Amino acid sequence: MSVTDELLANAERYAAGFDQGGLALPPARRLAVVACMDARLNPYKILGLREGDAHIIRNAGGVITADERRSLAISQRLLGTREIILIHHTDCGMLTFTDDEFKADIQCDTGLRPDWAAEAFPDLEEDVLQSIGRILADPFIPHKHSVRGFVYEIETGRLREVKR
């Protein structure tokens, strides 16, 4: 049995006890969170978010690329969110390699070099600031009065703000 099959049994149990119907499409807290995909980082629990509260956008590193800017533009322009929280974290996989190495390995394996940046970074705090900066520089995200960035400490559960 695959992991997917196991989890589908969980999904049936979830549906059987479901009582969250009737929530509105626009997020109640008017918030979008951009976080790393890391398995140990659960934005619902860390921030105390409930179903219906916030858009959750996640990728490798919690970085800001064109797709996050697309998602944030849709989130703010069509669905009314106003604040943005960015979350990177300690012990992140993105600290363990460089773009050049990773892309050379892939080229060696497949014969092709990826046409995207891997977005690895050597410094966590600097990359949080880089991500904030990319949002502030984006012409299509209208609401920028509250764009705040954090490092989540995998070891302690603490969320620590990063400021210039």
Annotated binding site: 36, 38, 89, 92
Least CB distance to its own copies at residue 86 (A) = 11
Least CB distance to its own copies at residue 153 (A) = 8
The count of residues interacting with its own copies (CB under 8 A) is 90
Give the orientation angle of helix 124-137 with respect to helix 66-79, to 10 degrees. Answer: 50
E strands, the chain, in order: 31-36, 54-59, 83-89, 147-152, 159-162
- Is 45 among the residues that bind its own copies (CB under 8 A)? yes
- Is 143 among the residues that bind its own copies (CB under 8 A)? no
- Is 1 among the residues that bind its own copies (CB under 8 A)? no
Rounded CA gap, 129 and 149, in Å?
Answer: 7
- Is 134 among the residues that bind its own copies (CB under 8 A)? no
- 80 or 133: CB nearest its own copies: 80
- Is 135 among the residues that bind its own copies (CB under 8 A)? no
**Alpha carbon of 15 to those of 1, 7, 8, 53, 157: distances in Å?**
21, 12, 10, 20, 30
The answer to whether 40 and 154 have CB atoms below 8 angstroms apart is yes
Annotated binding site for Zn(2+): 36, 38, 89, 92
- Is 96 among the residues that bind its own copies (CB under 8 A)? yes
The answer to whether 133 and 64 have CB atoms below 8 angstroms apart is no
- 136 or 146: CB nearest its own copies: 146
